[in-house]
Every structure is written in C-alpha cells, then in structure tokens.
Amino acid sequence: MNWKEYKGRIIGTLIGIILAISFLTIGFWRTLFWFSLAILGFILGSFFDNKESLIELWDRLKEIFINIGRER
C-alpha cells in the first residue's frame, strides 16, 4: 500500500483531529479565529510564492467576496 495514494485522507483526518482538540481545549470562537488566520497566512504565502503582487491579491479577493452570493 502506497501512502501517497491516501495523502488527502490522511491530511484531512489530521486536520480534523487538530480542530477537534482545539474546540475542546480553547473553545469554538478562538479555534475559528486561529483557523481563519492560518488560512489567510496560507493564501498570502501562496501569492508570494507565485510572485504575484498585493494589488493582484486584493483584486482577486474582491472578486471572490463580490461573487459569493451570486453563485446560486
């Protein structure tokens, strides 16, 4: 059995366990806050890795938030 075949499931399970432990130890809202900051850091890091500018990032985020309610 090759672990790379199940990489997504393994990572998803580990994230779920970490979130569950966080909910139980520090509470829902603090966990949500820290998870949101981690996601924001990941997004910013990926843009810098791709050598995109902050203006491009801002334009893309505006587009995402404007189109949230329009996808129905």
Q: Which residues of the chain have pLDDT under 70?
A: 1, 69, 71-72
pLDDT of residue 30: 92
10 found inside a domain:
no
Specify whether the CB–CB gap between 37 and 28 falls below 8 A: no
37 found inside a domain:
yes
Tell me which residue range forms the domain holding 64: 28-72
Domain count across the chain: 1
| DSSP string over the chain | --GGGGHHHHHHHHHHHHHHHHHHHH-HHHHHHHHHHHHHHHHHHHHHHTT--HHHHHHHHHHHHHTTTT--
pLDDT of residue 6: 79
15 found inside a domain:
no
19 found inside a domain:
no
